[in-house]
Amino acid sequence: MSEITVSDLQIMQQAGRYRRWCFDQVSPWVGRRVLEIGAGIGNQTEFLLGSEVVVCVELCREAAAVLRGRYAGQPRVVVFEGDICSESARSLAEHACDTAICFNVLEHIEDDVEGLRNIARILVPGARLLLMVPALPAIFGTVDRSLGHWRRYLPSTLRAALEKAGYRLERLWWMNLPGILGWFVNNRILRRKEESMGQILLFDRLLVPVTRFFESLVHPPVGLSLIAIAQSGRSDEVCSTDSLAGPTRSPAAP
């Protein structure tokens, strides 16, 4: 499903401001029992430790081992080493999770619709999916390929995948406008094959605080990532095609 390595995850572990910004985008919708898809080495798990239970799904054996060691003293953290698209993952339904967090994972799944359906089968009815995906197919390039990405998304393609998988889309918005330029230069001009620790740290320390502030005031018209809030279960009620709005209030947990 993915070619991402522990070293890639360790690079992102250093970007604490960025990771916190990503989590805070969806934190108003986090429920009590959380399923984390593609937990990696626990870079987002640390923000979920106040939950009743956090079920971490990780395909990479090396990353799962790091994850177990990192949270060995946390009885609320359950680590499942395996593919969310496997039959064995169905057993995770016993944890009765009311929220699924899936950050930068869906693009690694060849059949993303089936992946979304498998997530819904594990969750309780009416649970919420909190989703972050890379945006803009036009900037797909060498780093995407080296990380094992099948695609980058547009609002229309992400909406279509969610609806086809049986979700009701509640909110959808762009994030990280300045990141587009850096990704384009690295992928399409310099044609790098891996992320740069130096660039990520510079972005995290200098650009994230400024970008987060301004994007909290005005939602960007486009961004490097898309954030979606969706509810499992079919409904005729979906957000309008021109309604891209970020979090404005704290909704009740499902």
Q: Which residue carries 């959808």 as its tokens?
A: 172
Q: Which residue carries 């650009």 as its tokens?
A: 207
Both tokens of 1, joined, read 């499903």
pTM listed for this prediction: 0.88
Average pLDDT, consecutive stretches of 10 residues, N- to C-terminus, the chain (254 residues): 67 90 98 96 95 96 94 94 91 96 96 96 96 97 90 98 97 97 87 78 94 97 98 55 48 36
pLDDT tens, 90-147? 999 999 999 999 999 999 999 999 999 999 999 999 999 999 999 999 999 998 998 8
CA–CA distance, 35 with 37 (Å, rounded to integer): 6
pLDDT of residue 4: 60
The superfamily CATH assigns to domain 6-231 is Vaccinia Virus protein VP39 (3.40.50.150)
Cα 45 from chain centroid (whole Å):
12
pLDDT of residue 194: 72
In the sheet that holds 167-175, the strands lie side by side as 77-81, 53-58, 33-37, 99-103, 128-134, 225-232, 167-175
- What pairs with residue 131 in β-bridges? 102, 228
CA-to-CA separations, 153 to 3, 132, 234, in angstroms, rounded: 19, 10, 22
Phi, psi (rounded to 5 degrees) for 68: -60, -45
pLDDT of residue 236: 38
Phi, psi (rounded to 5 degrees) for 80: -110, 115
Both tokens of 176, joined, read 């990280």
pLDDT of residue 243: 46
CA–CA distance, 213 with 190 (Å, rounded to integer): 29
Q: Map out the domains of the chain as residue ranges.
A: 6-231
CA–CA distance, 135 with 153 (Å, rounded to integer): 5
| Single-letter code of the amino acid located at 164 | K
DSSP state letter for 153? B
Cβ pair 30, 101 in contact under 8 A: yes
Taking the chain, what is the end-to-end CA distance rounded to the nearest angstrom? 30
Residue ranges of alpha helices (H) inside the chain are: 6-13, 16-26, 61-70, 112-122, 142-146, 155-164, 179-184, 197-202, 208-217
pLDDT of residue 247: 60
